[in-house]
């Protein structure tokens, strides 16, 4: 019996060692790729760049061809990009007029009083009354400064980030947005810095038992984002409210330095109407488009990483849907490809920079 146990422990130790060794080699390989000599960039001729940008800007959404769009975006990555401050100001003014991220993005004590009634974003027949207890959960004012951040990075979770070596570039941004609590163990590709991260309540349902049982594992997981704020849609669906409040109390109970912020449902309603007016017909905006819209109001320069809705990368090789798994979204809920078209259009106009592929 003792010999069997010794053999079992030996095999277990060997398995753990091989797993750790494999993980280390994978990290080392990724580090070597990202710190090695940089490739020479082959630039597309200026006239070709102008032609591609003009084609993207002038083509209406309903006539977009996915194959041609992929080809054009690949070429655009080899075209010099420069910020068009006039076009950015125009887009920012439109967003500020319709939605006002600076003052209206979040539910705060300043814009919401005790006794006020909030109507849910997606359920006009459902309301919630702001009690003193709820009011105490809200920040006094918006945490975003009146003066825009200089450079912002919006980091999506697309498989296109794998082996991108964009981590260092992302971390140089003054403010970094991330989406839906992604794993942070791909630092060479995604960076380490986070200032704000969205948290979809479905993640809490699926992975943390709605925080009825797995409160400590959830709080421990959040440490990967350091002092970043969590942004949650507590008032989008009535089913989101309870679990969003549980996040607030879990962080409070474990004395976390992180804060929970709640989307204002009116802001999200107005934002959906804004993009509908631009021709985007979708059941619900993705978290990505919501955050990109916010960044355009709050930042002087916006760079996007990890946004790519196609199953093949820019080189034509298959890639996973996310950089950490290949789980596909529910069909018919979002329209990632249509949203991506608007990103390419804004990139072509100089409103934001859409980064696809390697960062060198």
Query: How many Cα atoms occupy the beta-carbon half-sphere of 145 within 13 Å?
Result: 8
d(CA 168, CA 322): 20
| 75-113 burial: b if 16+ Cβ within 10 Å, else e | bbbebebeebeeebeebbeebeebbebbbbbbbbeebbe
User: Pick from 69, 73, 77, 71: which is nearest to 41 by CA?
Assistant: 77
Q: CA Rg, the chain, in Å?
A: 22
The answer to whether residue 321 is catalytic is no
- Give the three-state DSSP class for 120: coil
Q: Read off the tokens for 351.
A: 């409103």
Give ∠ CA 86-92-344 in degrees, rounded to 5: 80
Give ∠ CA 166-64-348 in degrees, rounded to 5: 45
* H-type alpha helices, 36-81: 46-58, 66-76
d(CA 74, CA 85): 24
Which of 321, 322, 334, 347 is the catalytic position? 334
Cα-based distances in Å from 266 to 35, 118, 156: 46, 9, 24
Residues annotated as catalytic are: 334
């Amino acid at each position: 019996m003792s010999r069997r146990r010794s053999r079992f422990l030996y095999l277990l130790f060997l398995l753990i060692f091989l797993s750790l060794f494999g993980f280390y080699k994978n990290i080392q390989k990724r580090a070597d790729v990202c710190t090695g000599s940089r490739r020479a960039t082959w630039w597309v001729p200026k006239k070709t760049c102008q032609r591609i940008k003009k084609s993207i800007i002038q083509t209406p959404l309903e006539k977009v061809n996915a194959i041609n769009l992929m080809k054009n975006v690949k070429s655009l990555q080899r075209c010099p990009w420069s910020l068009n401050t006039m076009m950015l100001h125009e887009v920012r003014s439109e967003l500020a007029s319709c939605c006002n991220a600076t003052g209206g993005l979040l539910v705060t004590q300043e814009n919401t009083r005790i006794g006020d009634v909030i109507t849910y974003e997606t359920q006009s027949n459902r309301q919630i009354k702001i009690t003193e207890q709820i009011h105490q959960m809200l920040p006094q004012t918006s945490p975003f400064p009146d003066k825009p951040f200089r450079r912002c990075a919006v980091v999506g979770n697309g498989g296109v980030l794998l082996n991108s070596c964009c981590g260092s570039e992302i971390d140089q941004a003054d403010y970094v947005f991330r989406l839906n609590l992604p794993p942070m163990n791909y630092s060479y590709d995604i960076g380490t810095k986070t200032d704000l991260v969205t948290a979809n309540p479905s993640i809490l349902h699926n992975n943390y038992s709605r925080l009825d049982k797995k409160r400590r594992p959830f709080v421990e997981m959040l440490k990967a984002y350091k002092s970043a704020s969590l942004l949650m849609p507590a008032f989008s669906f009535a089913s989101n409210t309870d679990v969003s409040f549980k996040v607030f109390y879990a962080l409070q109970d474990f004395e976390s330095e992180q804060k929970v912020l709640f989307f204002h449902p009116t802001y999200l309603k107005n934002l959906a109407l804004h993009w509908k007016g631009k021709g985007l017909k979708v059941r619900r905006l993705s978290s990505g488009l919501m955050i990109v819209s916010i960044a355009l109001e709050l930042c002087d320069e916006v760079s996007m990483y990890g946004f790519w809705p196609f199953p093949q990368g820019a080189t034509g090789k298959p890639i996973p849907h996310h950089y950490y798994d290949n789980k596909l979204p529910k069909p018919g809920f979002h329209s990632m490809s249509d949203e991506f078209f608007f990103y390419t259009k804004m990139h072509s106009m100089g409103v934001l920079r859409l980064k696809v592929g390697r960062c060198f």
